[in-house]
Amino acid sequence: MTTMPNWLKQRAFLTPERIAVSDGRRTKTFAELYEAAAVWARRLARAGVKEGDIVALLMKNRIEMIEIIHALFFLGARVLLQNVRLTSYELGWQLDDSGARLVIADEELAGSLDGDGRVLTVGALAALPEADVSFKETCDLEETATIMYTSGTTGTPKGVLQTYGNHWWSAVGSALNLGLHERDCWLAAVPLFHISGLSIAMRSVIYGIPMRLQTSFDPKEANEWIMRGDVTIMSVVAAMLQRMISELGEARYPDTFRCMLLGGGPAPRPLLEACKEKGIPVYQTYGMTETASQIATLAPEYSLTKLGSAGKPLFPAELCILKDEKPAAPHEAGEIVVKGPNVTKGYLHRPEATAQAIRGGWFFTGDIGYIDEEGFLYVLDRRSDLIISGGENVYPAEVEAVLLSHPDVEEAGVTGVEDETWGQVPYAFVRLKRGASPDEAALRAFCRERLAKYKVPARIYFVDELPRNAAQKLLRRELKRLIPKTEQTF
Amino acid sequence: MTTMPNWLKQRAFLTPERIAVSDGRRTKTFAELYEAAAVWARRLARAGVKEGDIVALLMKNRIEMIEIIHALFFLGARVLLQNVRLTSYELGWQLDDSGARLVIADEELAGSLDGDGRVLTVGALAALPEADVSFKETCDLEETATIMYTSGTTGTPKGVLQTYGNHWWSAVGSALNLGLHERDCWLAAVPLFHISGLSIAMRSVIYGIPMRLQTSFDPKEANEWIMRGDVTIMSVVAAMLQRMISELGEARYPDTFRCMLLGGGPAPRPLLEACKEKGIPVYQTYGMTETASQIATLAPEYSLTKLGSAGKPLFPAELCILKDEKPAAPHEAGEIVVKGPNVTKGYLHRPEATAQAIRGGWFFTGDIGYIDEEGFLYVLDRRSDLIISGGENVYPAEVEAVLLSHPDVEEAGVTGVEDETWGQVPYAFVRLKRGASPDEAALRAFCRERLAKYKVPARIYFVDELPRNAAQKLLRRELKRLIPKTEQTF
């Protein structure tokens, strides 16, 4: 068991005057960030937060969100980060499943949890008097720091436990891979409630570098910051990068910009070629909530020769392909299995799911891929049927479960279909109960009430039969064939 | 317990074609270093080396030494690094104390251990056939990787255990402090048998950067490498830096040179001022064998405003001053106590010395210092009486023990005296037995047989009485007053 000084406290002690965070208007040093977090911590203590509690955050990217995360670390509480795009039903489900004590919510988002006694708005928290409380001086790397829900193939969301150690080793592994410069500044235009955004906030404190924060992605502003040399590293998904390149026009980024970290699914070749032409240093990555951000990365010099590869693992991590429980040969597809100190210790309250996912120290991702003869990873399919839409994960089983809960629906299958803007969007295929009449609009409205917008099927087709194998298992990859030929765009 | 992939294996897999090491004539990539180490490992296995064995190295800086260290890691053996300047007696003592199975020695050094059946020269090892042996694929961060002997106040040398984790966290803490650039290259002109040199070899593999190696320090060549932009970071002690500046003349280092890591005791003000004037980025450090290199560092921007300070701890580490077993106030002197994952787990076969040095998770350095109101460390005295001569530690008690073993000597006291070239040199003060006649040359010759050259007193004075306190404890700091006034230069 390794303990370390609390990260923000240590950082504020070592380099108090360095810039910690800026949203382009407001800027805070590490000393100021520490002071602000300490005030929030004393208010949270007044609100009853104690060591070991789970406290949910339902907030959009802003400096206060970072402060409150650190405030909860000061108290030894575990932070459940909730996706602000989820429906009331989904949010409430996570709160009940996790046993969260409180939800700290932005005023504009608190309505999603109307009537839930656990909700405390940021404004209401700010109005609380400060309690006298002592802070945890150290963090234990084995302890859970944060929790994020993902669904996986079963369709039931599970809370991924991310320890201090997971975040620490992820930050260290990334620094050993990308290097660390005195003038680095990392732009977070991805949400802090995703691991892609949260990992930037952790790295800022661990590395002692500033982070730039966008409340929502603004490609024009992001480009301006990069052109001015304010930002040296940025995390994006393909759809974001595409918009930045369109916005950039003929201009080229300056040399100060050294890393475009591209995650959230495979990148289209024309995009990579456009980046190559413009001299944008794209690092393609492979990672997930369970690996506390990227676990493999492809350096820019390989971005075209190893097109479509996610590169090699970070220094502290390992990766292999298993086929029929044996290591696969080069170029042979199988399940991607990973290991490393950045990998989750499991799922909250889910010993069985944990035991199924982590076997012999290896985490079974459910993703399919292969490794070439030089050890470069190629991801073929995310978690069998995972749909990645604009960087958000959509689990077919979760959408199917909602469809099946409709009284008219007998069978449902969901799959991802290529989309120019979002990479993929979910399409649903439904067999209705005898006597029910098809009404796509009504069924989509039903989904909208129960699912975040990005999960709602872009199209719902009514069919007579769903493709199943001999064991009656739904063959999701064959669903696309059911799209009428006249509508097929692929 | 955290395990990691074997460092050299992982590095050779991730970045096989990057340069690992160069001595200015020969260069090896990480893939080549791995292959060479693998060959040595198979020969070492043939020589009988097994997992858990202690194997001593008696070698001067050269590429083969790095290869053999990694070869021993492949076999799970622990590497005892021996100072090549020690006498036969001192070397043999370490081998017996540690229970080393073998000593791998440079041909020119093997004579120091003439007749010792454990000695195998590098040439003889190279001539062995390769055995079929499987390598350790991972390293356990809790396991001992290397051992280095230090003496401390008692005068009895003790083997400091350095785990893989100590080296790992030292490398990571240093990278978080100094940054890590793609074009970094670290010059090791300090011995690899010291932690200052060994830590460079560990960092090279962990960071994936090349190291430059000098067999013995050559200030002209070091300056040339820096001027050419080949070297970006260098570890030095004050005497080395002084010679480099003299040799440099009016020239100035290019911007590619970004870090002069200065260890091995406090730096004289004129040296720091000369560096400031020449724009040399000096990082003053505080560290020891027990902390696997520096544990505190002063950034260049503070080198004159915080003159004499060793800065603040590395990110994963902590440091405090204890006076009468309580935390001292700012500016109040006391014992320097440190904590962190880079700190040794103790001394080989010395549970009592370990229990005395490590209490409640803190390592008691024996050094005296204070912390100012901003948290900057000032070291006043190294280990009470430690003499640092040209970067080598000289423990007065060890020299006194040798003097006392001479049949004519009744009492002996040793202290450090300022020296322009070496920083400090040891001076001895001896009370002879009744009837014995003083003969400085003979007594120094007696020491030369039993002590490494740098430990042999530069002067021996014969006195009637040694300064002692009421408890008859020798007051080493008062010894200097016994130097005849005519000879005093301080």
Between CA B457 and CA B414 the distance in angstroms is 8
State mean pLDDT over B462-486: 80
**Which amino acid is present at B29?**
T
pLDDT of residue A383: 62
Q: Which of A379, A385, A391, A296 is nearest to A336 (CA)?
A: A379
pLDDT of residue B477: 76
Between CA B113 and CA B56 the distance in angstroms is 12
Mark which residues 348-387 of A lie under 8 Å from B by CB: 375
pLDDT of residue A368: 83
State mean pLDDT over B453-472: 85
- Nearest Cα of chain A lies from the Cα of B184 at a distance, in angstroms, of 10
pLDDT of residue A337: 96
pLDDT of residue A470: 61
- Nearest Cα of chain A lies from the Cα of B203 at a distance, in angstroms, of 10
| Residue with the two structure tokens 């004159």 | B304
pLDDT band at B269 (very low <50, low <70, confident <90, very high): confident
- pLDDT > 80? residue B292: yes
Domain A3-377 CATH assignment equals 3.40.50.12780:
yes
> Which residues, in sequence order, are CB contacts of B369 under 8 Å at separation 6+?
B321, B333, B334, B336, B377, B378, B379, B380, B381
Chain A's closest residue to B297, CA to CA, is A14
pLDDT of residue B388: 85
pLDDT of residue B470: 60
With an 8 Å Cβ cutoff, is A34 touching chain B? no
Chain B's closest residue to A312, CA to CA, is B14
Residues of chain A under the 70 pLDDT cut: 1, 152-155, 265-266, 381-384, 469-473, 488-490
Question: Which stretch of A175-189, B260-274, B315-329, B469-483 has the lowest confidence by average pLDDT?
Answer: B469-483
Taking only the tens place, the pLDDT of each residue in B186-219 is 999 999 999 999 999 999 999 999 999 999 999 9
Domain B3-180+265-377, CATH among 3.20.20.60, 3.40.50.12780, 3.40.50.12280, 3.40.50.970: 3.40.50.12780
pLDDT of residue A14: 96
Chain B's closest residue to A15, CA to CA, is B312
> Which residues, in sequence order, are CB contacts of A255 under 8 Å at separation 6+?
none
- pLDDT > 80? residue B473: no
Asked whether the beta carbons of A151 and A144 are under 8 A apart, the reply is no
Q: Could you give the ipTM of this predicted complex? A: 0.85
Tell me the β-bridge partners of A297.
Answer: A285, A312
In degrees, rounded to 5, the angle at the alpha carbon of residue B34 between the alpha carbons of residues B68 and B51 is 50
Taking only the tens place, the pLDDT of each residue in B29-75 is 999 999 999 999 999 999 999 999 999 999 999 999 999 999 999 99
Domain B387-487, CATH among 3.40.50.720, 3.40.228.10, 3.30.300.30, 3.30.930.10: 3.30.300.30
Chain A's closest residue to B10, CA to CA, is A315
With an 8 Å Cβ cutoff, is A179 touching chain B? yes
CB contact under 8 A, B207 and A176: yes
CB contact under 8 A, B14 and A182: no
Residues in B closer than 8 angstroms to A313, CB to CB, are: 14
Mark which residues 68-107 of B lie under 8 Å from A by CB: none
CB contact under 8 A, A341 and B4: yes
Taking only the tens place, the pLDDT of each residue in A373-410 is 999 999 876 665 778 888 888 888 788 888 988 999 98
What percent of chain B is modeled with pLDDT above 90?
A: 73
C-alpha dist (Å) from residue A473 to A119, A385, A467, A478, B263:
41, 13, 8, 12, 66
pLDDT of residue A411: 85
B94: tokens are 């370490």
What percent of chain B is modeled with pLDDT above 70?
A: 96
pLDDT of residue A384: 56
- pLDDT > 70? residue B135: yes
pLDDT of residue B383: 62
- Nearest Cα of chain A lies from the Cα of B14 at a distance, in angstroms, of 7
How many CB atoms lie under 10 A from the CB of residue A29? 17
What integer best gives the mean pLDDT of chain B? 92
Boundaries of every domain in chain B:
3-180+265-377, 387-487
C-alpha dist (Å) from residue B70 to A98, A460, B280:
47, 60, 33
- pLDDT > 80? residue B475: no
With an 8 Å Cβ cutoff, is A9 touching chain B? no
